[in-house]
Amino acid sequence: MNFCPECGSILRKGIIDGKEYLVCKCGYKELLEEDKEETQKKVEKKKKELEENLIIVNKEDRITVNLTVDRVCPECGHNKAETWQEQTRSADEPSTTFFRCLKCKHTWREY
Ligand SMILES: [Zn+2]
Ligand SMILES: [Zn+2]
């Protein structure tokens, strides 16, 4: 139920020039269609925000997936490296395992 902001009476739906309005007996009227579009825009904006948040969450997930393994760094000989896998080129090929030395940050890969 909508009330008139001018006099507080209940607004009724009416058609003026082919457009839907909420009208009051005091002469106040507001366009209904514009309100609908405005609501639709807000809903779409909210959806977009949610999708963006989802992508950010996924990125964080990928970072935490990196494991620390015993692997000797070819650069400095340190024996701890973090590892992760990446799908390269086509999905048919096996994924590549990457290692990054925890000490010197040297990155290398194994197939
Ligand atoms: Zn009124
Ligand atoms: Zn190293």
Full domain range(s) for residue 102: 60-111
* 111 Cα: distance to centroid of ligand 2 (angstroms): 19
* 105/66 same-domain check: yes
In a domain, 19, yes or no: yes
- Residues 67-95: tens digit of each pLDDT: 899 999 999 999 999 998 887 666 677 78
* 107/67 same-domain check: yes
Of 28, 32, 30, whose CA–CA distance to 8 is shortest? 28
- Residues 4-14: tens digit of each pLDDT: 999 999 999 99
In a domain, 70, yes or no: yes
- Residues 15-68: tens digit of each pLDDT: 888 888 999 999 999 988 665 677 778 888 888 887 777 665 555 555 456 789
* 34/65 same-domain check: no
Using CA atoms, how far apart are residues 54 and 47, in angstroms rounded to an integer?
11
* 111/66 same-domain check: yes
In a domain, 46, yes or no: no
Q: Which ligand is nearest to the CA of 2?
A: 1
- Residues 98-110: tens digit of each pLDDT: 999 999 999 999 8
In a domain, 51, yes or no: no
* 79 Cα: distance to centroid of ligand 2 (angstroms): 8
Using CA atoms, how far apart are residues 77 and 71, in angstroms rounded to an integer?
9
Q: What are phi and psi of 89, to 5 degrees?
A: 50, -110
Q: Which ligand is nearest to the CA of 78?
A: 2
* 7 Cα: distance to centroid of ligand 1 (angstroms): 4
Q: How many domains does the chain have?
A: 2
> In this predicted structure, what is the pLDDT of residue 65?
60
